[in-house]
């Protein structure tokens, strides 16, 4: 994955939401009218959208032919990185679409507004509301297995996956963050209601987000009683760990950790 602009990185590392938890407030969700009797369809839908809190939000949806849509299916949220990354670029370098087809799960790539996830306090609330609204929307369209809703992310998207885990620990089964650190919201501790399992992937040659941060995050999770799978990839920079077959490892971790 190409490096992100350093100016955007410098801004992202401020992570203004500080140490306070994010209060949940009900948010209106609107979507294009659908026929409640229509059968859900398989396919790749790159330009889906819905309105959450009065804002149009976009996402890319992958429904593999291999998924039995008559039964509850796992659902994976994949959050892209900052800047040049997007819902349309992330599938190309991660190859998660192929994993979804092989492992038979629904896959959604939400799109960030302003090319970043949840930095300023108001945006944190807005992006969390987008997650809530998108999950509700997909549950209306498909039979989603409520015990197998997973979130993962790359870089800034990995940060947001951590954040969703902490703020929606009773909703998500497990979290995976690739090259993305915890934010300042957790300086005083993660303090999740449920001790969700987390997988942390990081290259030891990452010049953008130092591997020391990933090690500190691992230790912080363990200190609070979370189950942690830590994968440190020798020689890897700030890019997807394709050579380590990380997708197979991600799914193996998710599959072993439905919500209990």
230: β partners: 200
Strands 29-30 and 43-52: antiparallel
Domain 43-255 belongs in CATH node 3.40.50.1820: yes
Q: Which two tokens mark 94?
A: 């991660």
Q: Is 87 left (phi over 0), alpha (psi -120 to 50) or beta?
A: alpha
Question: Is-contact 48 63, C-beta < 8 A?
Answer: no
Tell me the pLDDT tens digit for each residue of 191-243. 999 999 999 999 999 999 999 999 999 999 999 999 999 999 999 999 999 99
Which pLDDT score, from 0 to 100, does residue 30 have?
A: 55
Backbone angles phi, psi at 235, to 5 degrees: 80, -5
Tell me the pLDDT tens digit for each residue of 141-195. 999 999 999 999 999 999 999 999 999 999 999 999 999 999 988 889 999 999 9
Burial (CB count <10 Å: 0-12, 13-18, 19+), residue 8: middle
Q: How far apart are CA 35 and CA 146, in angstroms?
A: 23
Q: Which two tokens mark 189?
A: 């501790």
Query: Would you give the DSSP letter of residue 23?
Result: P
Q: How far apart are CA 181 and CA 183, in angstroms?
A: 6
Tell me the pLDDT tens digit for each residue of 4-26. 333 334 334 333 333 345 444 44
Q: Which two tokens mark 11?
A: 């801004």
Segments making up each domain of the chain, as ranges: 43-255
Question: Is-contact 60 85, C-beta < 8 A?
Answer: no
Question: Does the pTM exceed 0.75?
Answer: yes
- Percent of the chain whose pLDDT exceeds 70: 85
Q: How far apart are CA 251 and CA 64, in angstroms?
A: 16
CA-to-CA separations, 73 to 67, 102, 147, 223, in angstroms, rounded:
7, 13, 10, 33
């Amino acid at each position: 994955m190409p490096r992100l602009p350093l100016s955007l990185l410098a801004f992202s590392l401020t992570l203004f939401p500080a140490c306070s938890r994010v209060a949940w407030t009900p948010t209106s969700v609107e979507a294009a009218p659908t026929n409640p009797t229509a059968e859900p369809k398989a396919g790749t839908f790159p330009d889906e959208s819905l309105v959450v809190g009065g804002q149009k939000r976009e996402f890319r949806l992958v429904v593999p032919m291999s998924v039995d849509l008559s039964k509850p299916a796992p659902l994976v949220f994949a959050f892209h990185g900052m800047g040049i990354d997007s819902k349309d670029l992330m599938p190309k370098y991660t190859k998660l679409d192929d994993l979804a087809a092989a492992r038979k799960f629904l896959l959604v790539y939400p799109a960030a507004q302003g090319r970043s996830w949840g930095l300023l306090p108001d945006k944190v609330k807005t992006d969390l509301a987008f997650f809530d609204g998108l999950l509700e929307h997909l549950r209306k369209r498909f039979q989603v297995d409520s015990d197998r809703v997973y979130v993962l992310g790359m870089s800034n998207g990995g940060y947001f996956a951590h954040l969703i885990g902490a703020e929606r620990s009773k909703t998500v089964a497990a979290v995976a963050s690739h090259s993305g650190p915890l934010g300042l919201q957790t300086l005083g501790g993660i303090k999740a209601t449920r001790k969700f399992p987390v997988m942390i992937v990081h290259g030891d040659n990452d010049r953008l987000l130092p591997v020391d941060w990933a090690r500190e995050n691992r230790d912080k999770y363990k200190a609070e009683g979370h189950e942690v799978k830590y994968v440190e990839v020798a020689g890897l920079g700030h890019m997807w760990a394709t050579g380590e077959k990380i997708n197979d490892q991600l799914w193996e971790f998710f599959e072993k950790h439905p919500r209990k």
